[in-house]
C-alpha cells in the first residue's frame, strides 16, 4: 500500500475512468462504451464455426457418395444392349398333399421343413375298415375259385355222359338197320344223347359264370388294395415340406389337406417388363438369375412364360403414353436337371434380379456368364 494513500482509497470503487487502464494491463482491447473486455481476435464467432462444420460434413458425404458410386459401378457395370432385367423373388411350385378319401389320420411321418424324396411316405390314414373289407373280398375270391373248379368238374362229367349217350345211339342205329332193334329204342337213345349235350352246354355256361364271379371278387380285392394304398400319402416329387396343415387323429373329408410342399424341380422367378422390352422377349430365351444372397452367382435359366395380357394399367388404353405403362409378366425357369440333388439349397422367397436376352445376338458380360457347376 502506498504511504500517501489513505484507507478510504482502498475501498474506492473502480470507475469508468479507470477501466482503460485495467484493460490495457490485461492486453485486451476495450469495447467502445462497454467497459467489458472484448473477445480475443483469434476466437471465431459461433455462426462461422457452425458453417464450417456443415461444409466439412457435406464434403465427407460427397466423397463417400463418389466412392460408393465408383464401387457400385465396378460391381455392377452397365449392361450391354440386348439385355433387360427386372426384380423378383425365387419361387417353387407348391403342391398340396391331400386325402383321396374321407378318414382319420393315423400316422404322420414328416414335418415342416423336412426334405422328402419322390414317393416317400409322409402320412398314413386309418384303414382298418378297408382292411376288413379286403379280407371279405379275399374270402369271396377263394369261394369263387372253388366254384370254378366245381363247374369244370361238372363239364368233365357231362362230357362223359355225352360220349356214352352217343355210343348207345350209334349202336341202336346200327342194330336197327340189321333188324335187331326197334325204332322206339333208337328214339330213346336219341333223347338221351340230346339231354347229355344240353347238360354239357349248361355245365360249360356255369364255368363261364363262375369265372366271371371270380373276376369280380378279384377286382374287389384290387379295389380295396388301391384304396388302402391311396390312404398312404406320399410325396409326388422331391421337395421340402412347407406347411403341416393337419395332425394325428383329425378326421378329414375327401380332398382334405395334410401337407403343403414345394416342388424343388420347378423353380422360377416372375418379373415384370414394360411393353417395349417385353415385346422383344421370346419363349426359350436365355436368362440369368442373380439372388441378393449370392450376388456373385449367375444361375442360368430359360424364359418359360410370357403373359398375353398386361397388368398395372387401365383396361382401355388410348394414348401412346398410356401404352408405355403396360407391364407384362415374364417367367424364367431354372433347368430341372440343374436342380436335381440340390433341394437343400432351394429357398422360395429369396429376392433377386432376372436378366433376359432380348436380342439373341447379344453376349452375356463376364459377371453373368454362369457355369455348369453353379
Tens of pLDDT, residues 103-113: 999 999 999 98
pLDDT-based confidence at residue 322 (cuts at 50, 70, 90): low
69 pLDDT above the threshold of 50: yes
Q: Which domains does the chain have, with CATH numbers?
A: 75-93+262-368 (2.40.30.170), 128-230 (1.20.120)
pLDDT-based confidence at residue 64 (cuts at 50, 70, 90): confident
Beta carbons within 10 angstroms of residue 128's beta carbon: 9
Tens of pLDDT, residues 276-312: 888 899 999 999 999 988 888 899 999 999 988 877 6
Measured between alpha carbons, how far is 116 from 234 in angstroms, rounded to an integer? 9
Using CA of residue 314, residue 319, residue 325, residue 327, what is the dihedral sign? positive
DSSP letter, residue 368: G
Q: Looking at the chain, which runs of residues are DSSP E strands?
A: 83-98, 103-108, 115-116, 121-125, 232-234, 239-244, 251-252, 257-274, 286-291, 299-306, 327-333, 351-357
Contact (Cβ atoms closer than 8 angstroms) between residue 326 and residue 315: no
Q: What pLDDT score does 52 carry?
A: 76
pLDDT mean over 8-29 = 42
pLDDT winner (highest mean) among 69-78, 226-235, 321-330: 226-235
Measured between alpha carbons, how far is 269 from 289 in angstroms, rounded to an integer? 8
Give percent above pLDDT 90 in the chain: 39
78 backbone dihedrals φ, ψ, rounded to 5°: -60, 140
Lookup result for grid cell 400316422 = 107
Q: What pLDDT score does 331 carry?
A: 94
Q: Which helix (H) or strand (E) holds 69?
A: helix 46-75
Which of 55-64, 151-160, 168-177 is the least confident region?
Answer: 55-64
Q: Which residue has the higher pLDDT, 312 or 197?
A: 197
Q: Which helix (H) or strand (E) holds 215?
A: helix 183-230
pLDDT-based confidence at residue 251 (cuts at 50, 70, 90): very high
Q: What pLDDT score does 76 carry?
A: 54
pLDDT-based confidence at residue 56 (cuts at 50, 70, 90): confident
CA atoms within 13 A on the CB side of 123: 30
Measured between alpha carbons, how far is 141 from 215 in angstroms, rounded to an integer? 8
Q: What pLDDT score does 75 carry?
A: 54
Q: What pLDDT score does 70 carry?
A: 55
Among 97, 94, 90, 121, which residue's Cα sits nearest to residue 262? 94
Tens of pLDDT, residues 332-372: 999 888 887 777 777 788 899 999 999 988 889 888 876 54
pLDDT mean over 6-15 = 44
Q: What pLDDT score does 13 carry?
A: 44
Contact (Cβ atoms closer than 8 angstroms) between residue 259 and residue 120: no
Q: Which helix (H) or strand (E) holds 238?
A: none
CA-angle at 69, arms to 67 and 70, nearest 5°: 65
Amino acid at each position: 500500500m502506498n504511504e500517501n494513500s489513505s484507507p478510504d482509497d482502498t475501498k474506492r470503487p473502480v470507475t469508468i475512468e479507470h477501466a482503460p487502464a485495467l484493460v490495457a494491463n490485461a492486453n485486451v482491447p476495450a469495447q467502445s462504451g462497454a467497459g467489458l473486455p472484448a473477445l480475443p481476435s483469434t476466437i471465431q464467432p459461433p455462426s462461422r464455426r457452425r458453417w464450417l462444420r456443415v461444409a466439412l460434413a457435406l464434403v465427407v458425404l460427397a466423397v463417400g457418395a463418389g466412392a460408393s458410386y465408383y464401387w457400385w459401378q465396378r460391381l455392377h457395370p452397365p449392361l450391354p444392349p440386348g439385355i433387360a432385367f427386372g426384380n423378383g423373388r425365387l419361387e417353387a411350385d407348391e403342391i398340396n398333399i391331400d386325402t383321396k378319401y374321407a378318414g382319420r389320420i393315423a400316422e404322420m411321418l414328416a414335418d415342416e421343413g423336412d426334405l422328402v424324396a419322390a414317393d416317400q411316405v409322409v402320412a398314413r390314414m386309418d384303414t382298418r375298415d378297408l382292411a376288413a373289407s379286403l379280407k371279405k373280398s379275399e374270402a369271396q375270391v377263394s369261394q369263387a375259385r372253388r366254384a370254378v373248379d366245381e363247374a369244370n368238374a361238372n363239364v368233365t362229367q357231362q362230357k362223359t355222359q355225352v360220349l356214352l349217350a352217343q355210343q348207345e345211339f350209334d349202336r341202336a342205329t346200327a342194330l336197327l338197320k340189321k333188324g335187331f332193334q326197334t325204332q322206339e329204342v333208337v328214339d330213346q337213345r336219341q333223347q338221351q344223347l340230346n339231354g347229355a349235350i344240353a347238360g354239357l352246354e349248361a355245365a360249360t355256361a356255369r364255368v363261364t359264370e363262375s369265372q366271371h364271379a371270380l373276376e369280380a371278387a378279384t377286382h374287389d380285392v384290387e379295389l380295396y388294395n388301391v384304396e388302402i394304398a391311396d390312404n398312404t400319402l406320399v410325396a409326388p416329387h422331391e421337395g421340402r415340406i412347407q406347411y403341416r396343415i393337419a395332425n394325428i387323429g383329425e378326421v378329414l373329408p375327401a380332398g382334405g389337406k395334410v401337407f403343403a410342399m414345394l416342388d424343388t424341380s420347378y423353380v422360377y422367378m416372375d418379373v415384370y417388363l414394360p411393353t417395349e422390352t417385353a415385346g422383344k422377349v421370346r419363349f426359350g430365351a436365355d436368362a440369368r438369375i442373380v439372388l441378393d444372397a449370392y450376388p456373385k452367382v449367375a444361375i442360368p435359366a430359360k424364359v418359360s412364360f410370357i403373359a398375353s395380357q398386361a397388368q398395372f394399367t387401365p383396361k382401355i388404353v388410348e394414348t401412346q403414353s398410356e401404352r408405355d405403362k403396360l407391364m407384362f409378366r415374364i417367367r424364367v425357369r431354372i433347368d430341372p436337371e440343374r436342380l436335381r440333388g440340390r433341394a437343400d439349397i432351394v429357398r422360395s422367397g429369396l429376392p433377386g434380379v432376372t436378366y433376359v436376352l432380348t436380342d439373341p445376338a447379344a453376349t452375356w458380360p463376364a459377371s453373368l456368364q454362369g457355369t455348369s457347376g453353379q
